[in-house]
Structure formats: C-alpha cells, structure tokens
Amino acid sequence: MASLHPSELPAFSLLSDEQIVARVCAGERELFELLMRRHNRKVFRAARAVLKRDAEAEDVMQDAYVRAFSHLAEFKGEARFSTWLTRIAIYEAYARVRRERRLEPLTFETQEANMAAQRQSPEQAAIDVEMGRVLERAIDGLPEEFRLVFVLREVEQMSVAETAEILAVAEQTVKTRLFRARKRLQESLLAAIEAESGSAYDFHLARCDRVVSAVFARLGLREAERAG
C-alpha cells in the first residue's frame, strides 16, 4: 500500500486524530503518515529530552511509531492521541537508556564518529542561530527529570495535566520540577528562553521525511514514487 502523495495531505487536514486512527484501523493504513507528520516534532522533542542526541532520538521515534501502529486498535480515546503517542515515545527512550547502561562504555573512536555524524547532519547544518544552540545546551544540562518537564511544558507547550499524565506523576510534581528548571536557567537564559523556546530541538522537513520513510519501510508499507 502506497504512502500519500503530498498533494493529498491537505484533503485530510481537517480530520481529527481519532478519525484518522479509526480509518487506519479500518484498513486505510497509508493514513498513518498523517499522524506521524502531525506529531513528529512533539515525539522528537520528547525523545531527545531523554536521550540528548538527535540520531538516537530519531531511532526512538521509529520504534515508538512502530509500536503505536502495532497497538493502534488498543487506543480507546481515553486520553488525547498525542498524549498516548508521546508516552510511548518516552517509554521507548527510557528503554534505550536502560539497554545502554547494560553495555560497555563507548570507545573514544566511537564517540568521535558519533560526533562527526552529528556535525555532518543536514539538521545541524541548518541551525544557524547561536541563541538556539546556547539554549539547547542549557536545557541538556538540566537534570533529566527537570529537562523532560521543561521540554514538554515550555518547548512543546503541553498543559500541566497532560504532562503529568504522560510522566505518570502528580500535577504538583510537574509544577515543582518546572519551577526548579526555570530557576536553574534564570540568571543567564530566562529572557532567551521566553523568546526562543519554540525553536529548540526544531524538527526539519528532511528529518520528517526520513522518519516517515523509515517507519513505512519497517511496517512493510510501500513508498509511492513522488512526481514533481
């Protein structure tokens, strides 16, 4: 089954996530692309907040989408689809962290190769605003529990209730962690955070296309040739 041609995407833009899920479950599997493209940035940001590495965040995105597709019939609409999907992505990210901790540390040569791959990626080349880089480094420097709450609340603009549901913590815990995260960043970055937080961990079209293509390949869905 072919993926959607770009010209077809606007025709489905008014469908809710729940309507798309229902149609995918009914057999229109190619519509899963709509859900991926609609939520790619949110899923990437959540995974990267845990892993702090772009390439591994992309891998986790693929794992999360494959798992979500396999269990799509289990989505009952009790929470928003974006909440359900983001929770899966965070679960997959933590699963990767646990696997890494069971492995031997990376060699210096492997670390150098990974850093070189990051420098050569088209997404990294596209980041040309120094404040964006400074902000991302500052966020990466936060303790994990603060970083994840900060990304979901401030960068992705999720509500306290949705963040609490995704992380399975109390709403007051979300508020406390966000307060502490902001306090740690306040002296040097507060003004920049308020002005630039929407640009952190940006999700470029090239990455969007790459993730969609990889997930379709893993699901056995054939990519159609795109003309023009």
Angle at 24 between CA 19 and CA 26, to 5 degrees: 95
pLDDT digits over 41-97, tens only?
999 999 999 998 888 999 999 999 999 999 999 998 888 999 999 999 999 999 888
Arithmetic mean of pLDDT over the chain? 79
Q: Which domains does the chain have, with CATH numbers?
A: 1-105+115-125+202-228 (1.10.1740.10), 128-201 (1.10.10.10)
Please state the pTM of the whole predicted model: 0.68
Which token pair is 207?
Answer: 């990455």
Higher per-residue confidence, 7 vs 123: 7
Give the residue ranges of DSSP H helices in the chain.
Answer: 17-25, 32-51, 54-70, 81-101, 108-120, 122-126, 130-140, 144-150, 160-167, 171-196, 205-219
Side-chain half-sphere CA neighbours of 55 within 13 A: 11
- Residue of 90, 204, 197 whose CA lies nearest to 138: 197
What pLDDT sits at residue 10? 66
What pLDDT sits at residue 84? 94
pLDDT digits over 98-142, tens only?
887 765 444 444 444 444 444 545 544 444 445 667 678 788 888
* Length reported for the chain: 228
